[in-house]
Structure 1
Amino acid sequence: MSTQSVFTLVNPLTGHLAFKIFSFEDNRYFDHLQRNNYYTLIWIKQGNGKLKSDFSEYDFSENTLFAFSLYQPFMLSSNNISGVAIQFHPDFFCIHKHHSEIACNGVLFNNVYEPPFTRVDEVSAMAFDMLFEQMATEMQNQALAQYELLVSYLKIYLIKASRLKKEQNPILSTSITETKEPFILQSLKDSIENNFKVKHSPSDYAEHLNISAKALAKITKTHFNKTLTDLIAERIVIEAKRELYLTNKTVKEIAFELGYDDEYYFSRFFKNNADVSPQLFRETVGFGRSMN
């Protein structure tokens, strides 16, 4: 790679970050809690440490790829890490609008049921290195169709990373009959996906699954490393973010569709979980103005 280690494209319409790639030799970029209005991919090539993200804490080691969504909180604690990072705003590339092409939404990003990281094997490492080099070269070359070429490299990177995560987490792509995951966990996932707009309480799901609230709470904490309340809240917020970005519905309309009669209660709930108000999220992430 070039001796330069940071390459940034700024959206001329907003003045905000559009696309950025950089290499790092220490933890100074990530040693504080971050909630960004863009997507972040961090590949730890060397080193180890702890990740704090959402409501959980995880240990990590070398050859780990992290993927963080819009305003998803994260912080890395380590003294010896090095690697590369890619950051992109949804105005630059929208994973929702291109879901049929890359299918990373719900796998790499916005997956409340799996940890936000993937192990990188030797073959994938070679592919990621090559793509990063191609992006770095193109960032220095303001030629015809630079944007289109960068998006193409980014798409390939996201596709390869999503495939890798699916291979390592078969539950993302297979049915319960093909996995050893306990039936109750798959039933809980299905129940949350089908009912999060109307059922907001852990007791609702315990009743729906015919299991005691205490037993369900223990299973959820053990397997997902977060409480059922957190799991439900994350799922609601992800849907709210999606609606705020992809539609021009009012906050009141979105709140109502998600089962909240009180717009102001919903706005407080969103801010408590996303650390930003629905209005500010829409202003910083935008809606329907994606460049692609």
Structure 2
Amino acid sequence: MTDIQNTFTMIDPVKGNLAFKLFWFEGNSYFDHLQRNNYFSVIWIKEGSGKLKSDFSEYDFEEDNLLAFTPYQPFMLSTENKLSGVVIQFHPDFFCIHKHHKEVSCSGILFDNIYHPPYVKIDEASAATFNLMLSQIKTEMQNKALAQYEILVSYLKIFLITASRLKSAQQALDQDPDKVNKEPFILHDLKEAIETHYKTKHSASDYADLLNISAKALARVTKAYFNKTISNLIAERIIIEAKRELYLTNKPIKEIAYELGYDDEYYFSRFFKTNVSPQLYRDTVGFGRASA
């Protein structure tokens, strides 16, 4: 179970792959190269700061930031400072946020949030909860006993719910109408338009037309507030839905492509390969079986 003093790993006995892992790290070599992991990663930066590159964007991160990434979401950390922190990694077969969305409500907030950076700022109260959960997880993984999986999932749920609540509260503050730099109302309309039409409208000009605004003006305000282009937002939303379908269902890839507005399965596969191919994603992450 224990690799080294500060690393604790659980392996799926059937597939032989990583199921759950907890480890503490020091140094810049862990995430200074592109990551494309077939499991969820939650990284608590306890010391250090730098640049986070994720998907199509780049962000600043600092100590007491909690970073969250879904399977095969590309990311890397660049810094000239010493980094240290703690990491939780878990495969969807161990715990899938899509299947348990009603229990933890972290999909679209902590993970798969295309409109906010993929991290949350940790406050003192949440840090105390996180440290307690990490201590409990470490103890449980050192002493394998009856119902270990159920206990670990319970601790993980508390960790994810706490992080999601914190990020949700911070997003609400960002949307406070009393804030000087509040988000323009047009972006609220853009979010709703993408959520409604991403399966049928795939171009930035489609949304500019829907919102009755020039494409250049919409592109400018979108880049300023989301640090992404409209095309990036649309692409990320499509990929999120494709991943959800690939994991939760056994639908043929051709059918998923068609439902997302792609008549050509091969064109859809090339589009999806900004991460990995749809088939590789399904083969390594798998689709959620009813018994899982």
Q: TM-score range by the shorter chain?
A: over 0.9
Runs (4+) of structure 1 exceeding 6 A deviation are 176-179
Runs of 5+ unmatched residues, structure 2: none
Q: In the alignment, which residue of structure 2 is the partner of 1:23?
A: 24
SS in 1 for 2:23: strand
1:208 alignment partner in structure 2: 210
Native 8 Å contact 2:140 2:148 kept in 1: yes
1:34 counterpart letter in structure 2: Q
Instruction: Determine the C-alpha separation between the residues in 2 that align with 1:97 and 1:118.
Output: 23
The letter of the residue matching 2:65 is T
Tell me the residue number matched to 1:48: 49
Measure, in 2, the Cα distance between the counterparts of 1:133 and 1:63. 18
SS at match of 1:226: coil
- The answer to whether the Cα contact below 8 Å between 2:53 and 2:75 also exists between their aligned partners in 1 is yes
Assess if the C-alpha contact under 8 Å between 1:92 and 1:291 holds in 2: no
Q: Residue 282 of structure 2 corresponds to which residue in structure 1?
A: 282
Residue in structure 2 matched with residue 244 of structure 1 by the alignment: 246
| Structure 1: runs of 5 or more not aligned | none
Q: Please report the TM-score for the alignment, with normalisation by the length of structure 1.
A: 0.95
* Residue in 2 that maps onto 1:132: 134
State the distance in 2 between where 1:101 and 1:171 align: 24
Structure 2 residue matching 1:8: 3-state secondary structure: strand
Corresponding residue of 1:153: 155
1:52 partner amino acid: K
Find the aligned partners of 1:223 and 1:182 in 2 and give their Cα distance. 9
Question: 1:1-292 counterparts in 2 under 5 A?
Answer: 4-78=5-79, 79-170=81-172, 180-271=182-273, 273-274=274-275, 276-289=276-289, 292=292
1:157-215 C-alpha deviation (Å, 9 max, x unpaired): 0000000001111189x8x9898421101000000000000000000000000000001
Output the TM-score relative to the length of structure 2: 0.95
The total of aligned residue pairs comes to: 287
What percentage of residue pairs aligned between the two structures are identical? 67
Pairwise CA distance, 1:18: 0.5
Rounded Cα–Cα distance in structure 2 between residues aligned with 1:22 and 1:218: 41
Where 1:169 maps in the other structure, the secondary structure is: helix
Give how far 1:90 is off: 0.3
Q: Indicate conservation of the 8 Å contact 2:40/2:69, yes or no.
A: yes
> What whole-Å deviation, never above 9, does each CA across 1:92-132 have from its counterpart, x for those lacking one?
00101110010000000011111001111111111101100
Asked if the contact 1:90–1:290 (Cα under 8 Å) also holds between the matched residues in 2, the reply is no
Contact 1:91 1:290 in 2 (8 A): no
For the residue of structure 2 that corresponds to 1:110, the secondary structure is coil
Amino acid at match of 1:26: G
1:103 and 1:162 in contact (8 A); partners too: yes
Structure 1 residue 81: Cα displacement: 1.1
Distance 2:62 2:134 in 1: 21
* Per-residue deviation, residues 45-88 of structure 1 (Å, max 9, x unmatched): 11111111111111111111000111111101123111100000
Distance change >3 Å, CA 38–CA 171, structure 1 → 2: farther
What is the rounded CA distance, in whole Å, between the counterparts of 2:42 and 2:290 in structure 1?
20
Within 1, Cα distance between the matches of 2:65 and 2:177?
A: 29
